[in-house]
Amino acid sequence: MEYRKERIDRGIKARTEDIYALFSYREMLYLLVPRAIPILVLFAVTLVVGVYWQKVLISTAVFALLALSWDLLTAAGMVSLGQALFFGVGAYLTGILNHYFKLSPLFTIPIATLGGGVVCTLLLLPVLRLRGIYFAMVTLALPLMLVRIIEATKIFGGTEGLSGLSGLPSTRFELYLSIIAVLAVLFFFRRLINTDYGLVLRGIRDNDRSVMRSGINIYWYKAQALFMASAVGAFAGALMTHVYMFVGMPVFEMDYSILPIASAVVGGMGTFAGPMLGAFILVPLSEALRGVGGLRIVIYGLFLVIFTVALPEGIFHYFQRKYHQFERWVKVEK
């Protein structure tokens, strides 16, 4: 007698497809609870914690933004090993606008976000035509090289960076701004990927030739995805610059490239909520493990390997599956 595991959608899952969810409170709750609870918990946490952990949460939100940005690129078939590029470009644009042009954060952040998106898209435009590996290589190389350039030419403050930049009204303000930004991007990207537009992006990832023969210019769509992702990353950088009131070479550091990937891999690639979850796990965790110092990145590296190989679906997928489906053992028919 042999058995196999069978997974079936729960009844309530089927009943909540589309508009039918509005037909009963129970079904609406089924959909709302997993979305509402984390958000409520998040806001509750922001109310109770002290300044130190508020700063940690801001940092978490920033990494979550980078993770979301990474996930969008991956959904469209581009693997970025250099989220630090977007982050750093946004950070420096903000710093430059604030330091040399004396613009206030109200202006520097939006301009740096859009400008960062434009700059990064233009930089990476030539590699969009090539196999994904080139994109990965160039995104890896660019931030590391930009650091050397800044170091050598001493522009934009050189090794010292630009300090004394404007700050934001208060830590609470920064906190709420960053969290709202994360939630906004999360919802936007999730909705986007489920539209027909998102289908095109996913198509480009799975079978780009098929998308091309369907009359769609895949490079244009890839560029759009790249713009959106890099703008989000630039925003993260812009925000951090004003939180720390400083921008310097460290903005291009590997940390900003690796942690988002680790968050996405641990949390669950492709779901957007997963990367965000991953960030909210890994960043506070690494903060708590401050004492361990250098081992931190070793652990990230190992996480990346273990999750990619053994649990590729990530935590979020796992919980999503448990929530939406039930499993049972079924006899194998001959």
Partner 1 sequence: MFQGTLIYGFVNSVILALLALGFNLTFGISGVANFAYGALYILAAYTAWMLLTWLKINYFLSIVLAVLFTSFIGGLIYRFILLRVRGMPISEVIASFGIGLAILEFFRFLGFVGSEYTLPVFIDGSVSLGGTYIDVQRLLIVGIGVVLVIFLWLFTHYTKTGLAFRGMAQEERTALILGINSDKMATLSLAFGSGLAGVAAITILPLGQVAIEGGYSALLNALAVCIVGGLGSTVGVLVAAVLIGFAQTFTATYIGSHWMMIVSLVAILVILVVKPSGLFGKQKELEERI
Partner 2 sequence: MGEGREMKEEAPFLRVSGLTKQFGGVRAVDSVSFDLKKGEILGVIGPNGSGKTTLVNLITGFVKPDTGKVFYQGRDITGMMPHRIADLGIARAFQMVKPFYQLPAFKNLIIPLFSPRVKRLTGGKYGDRDAIAIDLLEEVGFERDSFVPFKIASVLPHGYLKRMELALCLALRPELIILDELFSGLSMAEVASMLPIIEKLMSENLTIIMIEHRLRELFRISNRVIVLNYGKKIAEGLPKEVMESDEVKKAYLGSETE
CA distance 321 to 288: 30
Q: For residue 51, list its beta bridge partners.
A: none
Question: Could you tell me whether strands 246-247 and 162-163 are parallel, antiparallel, or unpaired per DSSP bridges?
Answer: antiparallel
Please select the residue that binds partner 2; options are 206, 294, 310, 334, rule is CB under 8 A. 206
| Only segment of 35-43, 126-134, 184-192, 238-246 that touches partner 1 (CB under 8 A) | 126-134
Please select the residue that binds partner 1; options are 110, 305, 318, 327, rule is CB under 8 A. 305
Q: For partner 2, which is the closer residue by CB, 128 or 279?
A: 128
One DSSP character per residue, 88-120 reads HHHHHHHHHHHHTS---HHHHHHHHHHHHHHHH
Question: Which amino acid type is present at position 134?
Answer: Y
The answer to the question of residue 192 lying near partner 2 (CB under 8 A) is: no
Do 93 and 211 contact (CB within 8 A), yes or no? no
Q: For partner 1, which is the closer residue by CB, 199 or 295?
A: 295
Reduce the DSSP state of residue 211 to 3 states and report it. helix
Do 189 and 272 contact (CB within 8 A), yes or no? yes
| Only segment of 32-40, 208-216, 230-238, 275-283 that touches partner 2 (CB under 8 A) | 208-216
Please select the residue that binds partner 1; options are 2, 19, 48, 209, rule is CB under 8 A. 209
CA distance 135 to 57: 31
Q: For residue 163, list its beta bridge partners.
A: 246
Please select the residue that binds partner 2; options are 200, 254, 297, 299, rule is CB under 8 A. 200
CB pairs under 8 A, 24+ apart, for 301-306? 301/258, 303/262, 303/265, 303/266, 304/258, 304/261, 304/262, 304/265
* Residues in 81-120 at the binding interface with partner 1, rule: CB under 8 A: 81
Please select the residue that binds partner 2; options are 52, 101, 187, 197, rule is CB under 8 A. 197
156 to 130, 152, 239, 251: CA distances (angstroms): 33, 11, 18, 13
Please select the residue that binds partner 2; options are 163, 170, 214, 325, rule is CB under 8 A. 214
Residue 301: contacted member of partner 1, partner 2, none (CB under 5 to 8 Å, by partner type) = partner 1
* Residues in 127-146 at the binding interface with partner 1, rule: CB under 8 A: 127, 129-134, 136-138, 140-142, 144-146
Q: For partner 1, which is the closer residue by CB, 81 or 177?
A: 81
Backbone angles phi, psi at 42, to 5 degrees: -60, -50
What is the contact surface with partner 2 in residues (CB under 8 A)?
196-197, 199-200, 202-203, 206-207, 209-218
What is the contact surface with partner 1 in residues (CB under 8 A)?
74, 79, 81, 126-127, 129-134, 136-138, 140-142, 144-146, 148-149, 151-153, 208-209, 212, 218, 254, 258, 261-262, 265, 269, 293-295, 297-298, 300-305, 308-309, 312
